[in-house]
Amino acid sequence: MSESEVLRADRERKRDELIAAGHNPYPAETNRTHTIHDVVRNFEALAETELTITGRMMAFREHGAIAFVDLFDGTEKIQIFFSKEEMPDDASFDLFIDTMNVGDFIEVTGSTYVTKRGQNAIAPTTWRVLTKSLATIPTEHFGLKDDDERLRKRYLEILTNTDVRQMFEQKAAFWRASRRFLEEKGFAEVHTPTLETTTGGAEANPFVTHHDDFDIDVYLRISVGELWQKRLMAAGIPRTFEVGRVYRNEGTSPDHLQEFTNIEFYAAYMNFGDGLALLEEHIRYVLDEAFAGQRQFSIKGFDVDFEAPFARIDYVETIKEHTGVDIVEVSYEELLKKVVELGIEHEGSNRERLTDTLWKYCRKDIAGPVWLTGHPKLVSPLSKETDQKDGTVLRAQLVMAGAEFNNCFAELNDPEEQKDRFEAQAELLAQGDVEAMMPDWEFVEALEYGIPPTFGAATLGERFFAYLVDKPIRETQYFPLMKPKSVPIK
DSSP string, 182-221: HHHTTPEE----SEESS--SS--PPPEEEETTTTEEEEE-
> Do 126 and 172 have their domain in common?
no
Cα angle: 291, vertex 462, 218; to 5 degrees: 160
Whether 362 contacts 322, CB under 8 Å: yes
| Nearest C-alpha neighbor of 116 from the set 164, 81, 151, 74 | 81
Domain assignment of residue 485, yes or no: no
Based on the number of CB atoms within 10 Å of its own CB, is 439 exposed (0-12), middle (13-18) or buried (19 or more)?
buried
Helical H segments across 224-304, by residue range: 226-234, 272-290
The predicted structure's pLDDT at residue 141: 63
Number of domains in the chain: 2
Q: Which DSSP string corresponds to 256-279? A: --SEEEEEEEEEET--HHHHHHHH
In terms of residue numbers, what domain contains 19? Answer: 3-131
Beta bridge partners of residue 372, listed in sequence order: 313, 397
Residues 412, 297: one domain? yes
259 and 192 fall within a common domain: yes
Query: Residue 288: inside a domain, yes or no?
Result: yes
Domain stop point among 113, 131, 149: 131
Q: What is the pLDDT of residue 4?
A: 86
Helix, coil or strand: residue 10 = helix
In a domain, 339, yes or no: no
In a domain, residue 26? The reply is yes
Whether 73 and 174 map to the same domain: the answer is no
Asked whether residue 126 falls in the same domain as residue 163, the answer is no
Residue 318, in any domain of the structure:
no
Statement to judge: residues 182 and 92 lie in one domain: no
Look at residue 142 in the predicted model and tell me its pLDDT: 67
282 and 385 share a domain?
Answer: yes
Of 131, 146, 176, the last residue of a domain is: 131
Helix, strand, coil percentages, rounded to 5, for the chain: 35, 25, 40
317 falls within a domain: no
Tell me, yes or no, whether 175 and 233 share the same domain. yes
At 203 the pLDDT is: 78
Residue 357 lies in a domain: no
Tens-level pLDDT at each residue, the chain (490 residues): 788 899 999 999 999 999 999 999 999 999 999 999 999 999 999 998 999 999 999 999 999 999 999 999 999 999 999 999 988 888 999 999 999 999 999 999 999 999 989 999 999 999 999 999 999 998 876 677 788 889 999 999 999 999 999 999 999 999 999 999 999 999 999 999 999 999 877 778 899 999 999 999 999 999 999 999 999 999 999 999 999 999 999 888 999 999 999 999 999 999 999 999 999 999 999 999 999 999 999 999 999 999 999 999 999 999 999 888 888 888 888 888 888 888 888 765 678 778 888 888 999 999 999 999 999 887 888 889 988 888 889 999 999 999 999 999 999 999 999 999 899 888 888 888 777 888 999 999 999 999 999 999 998 999 999 999 999 999 999 999 998 887 555 5
Same domain, yes or no: 282 and 397? yes
Domain match, 181 and 103 both: no
pLDDT for the residue 455: 97
Amino acid identity of 482? M
> Would 106 be classed as within a structural domain?
yes
Name which of 347, 358, 355 is nearest 205 in CA terms. 347
Residues contacting residue 237 through CB under 8 Å, at least 6 positions apart: 188, 190
12 and 125 share one domain = yes
- CATH number, domain of 60, equals 2.40.50.140
Residues 110 and 255 grouped into a single domain? no
Q: What is the CATH number of the domain that holds 165?
A: 3.30.930.10
The tally of CA atoms less than 13 A away on the side-chain side of residue 72 is: 15
